[in-house]
A and B are shown apart, each in its own frame.
Chain A
Amino acid sequence: MNSAFLNFESQPGRLIVNVKGSWVFDEVLALENATASVLPETGQLVAFQCAGLEEIDIAGAWVLYDRTEQLAVLGIKSEFTGFKAAHFKFLQNIIDAAAIRDYEEPPEYPVRPKRMRKAVENIGSHSAAVIEDLGEVARSVLEGARSPSLFMVGETIKQVYQTGVQAIPVVMVITFLIGIVTVHQAAGQLEKFGATVLVVDLVSISITREMGVLLAAIMVAGRSGSAFAAALGVMKLNEEVDAMRVMGLNPYQMLVVPRILGLMIALPILTIFADIAGIAGGALIAVGTMGISSLQFVERVAYGTDLTDFYVGLSKAPVFALLIASVGTLRGMQVKSSAEELGLKTTMAVVQSIFMIIVADALFAILFTRMGI
């Protein structure tokens, strides 16, 4: 079958194939179809005449070479005439060189046991790594406390600024909105009982005890937990962490501890701002649309909300901060090789810290109930 690339001329004992046109990368699909139609009869010699060839590159040469190899397996010999390009010899050299290096198939294990074993091994090694990391952080904190370096103090202040001060606007805006939403939603229900004024208690208690700190923590987890993981991860990839170690610096002390301490200072501050904004949001709706006077609002807040409620919320902040910062930094330090891994660890840092915040909050709720606060 003749085509744009091949012309056939069958002679007794010989199949003459005229190769023509452009045998290049873009035509590989067509070339494969064309060469597949080189079907000599048994005992025929295939003579490729390449004088009409306009252009050939490695991909094109490969298709032709591949076909002759297939024919050779069937016991059919091929010969070439009029070849201008040196590509074929080049290919032959490569293939010959490759044959010298043996390619060993990796031994195949049964899949399931291997996976199981790997999963168990992973759990073990991950837990060990986490315990080791935590131990090193604890040791670094103690060492740092014994001989605090100026660098650490400066770095901690920087972290307080970046994770705390810079987050104040966004945290205040979301808690303000949540304050509005809470009052709005509760008002309709409480009106049925004629207890509209109780929305004030509801918003002030829920914001100070739960919502303020929780929203601030989740916001910070998304904002700073990811930043910690990404920053430390890139430092690991750039060998900055290794550079610190060879200089005799403890990277945990230089990088991890300031972030943890910084966030433990920053999150309580943020919580106070969140509480203020949340109650302000509630006040806006209560005073603005529900006919509660501002004096009444302040009175209800003072009467209904204890300082204990405020402290309950505030006391959770350092714990949440510790969780966010340690998960973020440790995930960052686990990055070893690739950009892909960096993304994965950053995601893990955020998801796990938010998860742990919610779990810790639930535990706190049980604890405070038992304590009767």
Chain B
Amino acid sequence: METIISVKDLVNRFGKQVVHDGLCLDIRRDEILGVVGGSGSGKSVLMRSILGLQRPTSGTITVLGQKIEYHKPGPSRCWGVLFQAGALLSGLTVQENVELPIALYSDMPLETRHELASLKLLMTGLSLSVADKYPSELSGGMRKRVSLARALALEPKILFLDEPTAGLDPIAATEFDELITYLHDNLDLTIMMITHDVDSLFGICNRIAVLVDGGVVVGTQDEVLDSDHPWIRSYFGVPRALRARQAKRRPAYE
């Protein structure tokens, strides 16, 4: 099993508060890894550290064999990020938002750029009638789709999703889950997804990483469910998690 992202002995400390204390995590090729944890357990800090947006107190992170350094250009060609609120550039239209990374990293003619951007919008299930709108004119769900289209613009190998279904209604959330599964199955994507949505956690994730006590408990759905850590037991013991567990399961990627 090839490791795409490797986090070794990550320590993140803010004053006296220790968020990560020697955290080690490997993300494998072609898997969807769900990351869960209580508030303040450092889910976002972990993702930001991997993306080079946060200077870890210590520890090394490698993505696709490249060492990540704070605020240095990482393998930005190879990853796409869906931020929680979308983070679309508000001064640009939907089309321009998706075209921006393409324009930055290639010298293709305008027309091709335009076609590829439209294709990415279609891929995320948007209609081209939104192309000339500004992000502020879109609903939350559409904004997430546009943001996903932008994340996919450069044919990334890794996709980071920060609570992709937060703030969406159950129908839109289910559609978004299906979309991610569909893209994952068709595009050889490795996905790291922070989520609190137990339905998507059990519905689409191959493995689950639970951040507890400054470290991580990672494994297949069954392995994590069998864990006897008290926080994990209570997290997966609440009624909504139990219901989601009984629904569709996805096996670990072999």
Q: Are A58 and B119 in contact (CB under 8 A)?
A: yes
B120: min CB distance to chain A, Å: 8
Contact with A along B168-200 (1 / 0, CB 8 A): 000000000000000000110000000000000
Q: Are A103 and B154 in contact (CB under 8 A)?
A: no
Q: Of A24, A29, A58, A87, which is within 8 A of B108 by CB? A: A29
Contact with B along A66-103 (1 / 0, CB 8 A): 10000000000000000000110011001101100101
Which residues from B are CB-within-8-Å of A32?
A: 108-109, 112
CA distance A91 to B115 in the complex (A): 13
In which size bucket is the chain B interface? 20 to 34
Asked if A11 is at the interface (CB within 8 A of a chain B CB), the reply is no
CA distance A45 to B48 in the complex (A): 52
Q: Are A103 and B129 in contact (CB under 8 A)?
A: yes
Asked if A122 is at the interface (CB within 8 A of a chain B CB), the reply is no
Contact with B along A19-37 (1 / 0, CB 8 A): 0000011101100100000
Closest to A342 in B: B90
Do A87 and B90 contact each other (CB < 8 Å), given the known contacts A62-B115, A98-B128, A103-B127? no
Do A98 and B122 contact each other (CB < 8 Å), given the known contacts A57-B155, A103-B129, A338-B91? yes
Q: Are A25 and B155 in contact (CB under 8 A)?
A: yes
Do A24 and B155 contact each other (CB < 8 Å), given the known contacts A98-B128, A104-B129? yes
Asked if B86 is at the interface (CB within 8 A of a chain A CB), the reply is no
Asked if B107 is at the interface (CB within 8 A of a chain A CB), the reply is yes
Contact with B along A324-365 (1 / 0, CB 8 A): 000000000000111111000000000000000000000000
Which residues from B are CB-within-8-Å of A103?
A: 127-129
Asked if A301 is at the interface (CB within 8 A of a chain B CB), the reply is no
Asked if A59 is at the interface (CB within 8 A of a chain B CB), the reply is yes
Task: Name the interface residues of B120-151: CB closer than 8 Å to any CB of A.
Answer: 120, 122-123, 125, 127-129, 134-137
Q: Of A29, A62, A63, which is within 8 A of B106 by CB? A: A29
Tell me the total A-B contact number using a CB cutoff of 8 A.
Answer: 69
Which residues from B are CB-within-8-Å of A59?
A: 116, 155
Which residues from A are CB-within-8-Å of B112?
A: 28-29, 32, 63
Q: Are B91 and A101 in contact (CB under 8 A)?
A: no
Q: Of B115, B116, B136, which is within 8 A of A338 by CB? A: B136
Q: Of A25, A91, A101, which is within 8 A of B127 by CB? A: A101
Q: Of B90, B125, B137, which is within 8 A of A340 by CB? A: B90
Closest to A100 in B: B127
Which residues from B are CB-within-8-Å of A28?
A: 106, 108, 112, 116
Closest to A29 in B: B108
CA distance A340 to B89 in the complex (A): 9
CA distance A230 to B68 in the complex (A): 35
Closest to B183 in A: A90
CA distance A63 to B116 in the complex (A): 9
Of the listed residues A59, A91, A340, the one surrounded by the most CB atoms of chain B closer than 10 A to its CB is A59
A103: min CB distance to chain B, Å: 5
Which residues from B are CB-within-8-Å of A336?
A: 136
Q: Are B91 and A339 in contact (CB under 8 A)?
A: yes
Do A29 and B122 contact each other (CB < 8 Å), given the known contacts A62-B115, A103-B127, A339-B91? no
Do A25 and B122 contact each other (CB < 8 Å), given the known contacts A57-B155, A98-B128? no
Q: Are B134 and A29 in contact (CB under 8 A)?
A: no
CA distance A27 to B187 in the complex (A): 18
Closest to B157 in A: A57
Q: Of B90, B106, B125, B186, which is within 8 A of A90 by CB? A: B186
Contact with B along A28-61 (1 / 0, CB 8 A): 1100100000000000000000000000011100
CA distance A349 to B75 in the complex (A): 41
B25: min CB distance to chain A, Å: 27
Q: Of A62, A90, A337, which is within 8 A of B136 by CB? A: A337
B156: min CB distance to chain A, Å: 10
Q: Are A58 and B123 in contact (CB under 8 A)?
A: yes
Of the listed residues A101, A104, A338, A341, the one surrounded by the most CB atoms of chain B closer than 10 A to its CB is A338
Which residues from A are CB-within-8-Å of B187?
A: 57-58, 90
A112: min CB distance to chain B, Å: 21
Q: Are B122 and A94 in contact (CB under 8 A)?
A: yes
Q: Are A337 and B134 in contact (CB under 8 A)?
A: yes
Which residues from B are CB-within-8-Å of A94?
A: 119, 122-123
A216: min CB distance to chain B, Å: 35
Which residues from A are CB-within-8-Å of B135?
A: 338
B234: min CB distance to chain A, Å: 32
CA distance A101 to B118 in the complex (A): 14
Q: Are A62 and B91 in contact (CB under 8 A)?
A: no
B187: min CB distance to chain A, Å: 7
Q: Are B116 and A26 in contact (CB under 8 A)?
A: no
B14: min CB distance to chain A, Å: 23
Nearest 7 pairs of A and B residues by beta carbon? A337-B136, A338-B90, A340-B91, A57-B155, A101-B127, A90-B186, A98-B122
Known: A28-B116, A94-B119. 11 other contacts (CB 8 A): A29-B107, A58-B123, A58-B152, A58-B187, A66-B115, A86-B186, A90-B186, A94-B122, A337-B136, A339-B90, A340-B90
24 contacts between A and B (CB under 8 A): A25-B154, A26-B106, A29-B108, A29-B109, A29-B112, A32-B109, A58-B119, A58-B123, A62-B119, A86-B186, A90-B186, A90-B187, A97-B122, A98-B127, A98-B128, A103-B129, A104-B129, A337-B136, A337-B137, A338-B91, A338-B134, A339-B90, A339-B91, A341-B90
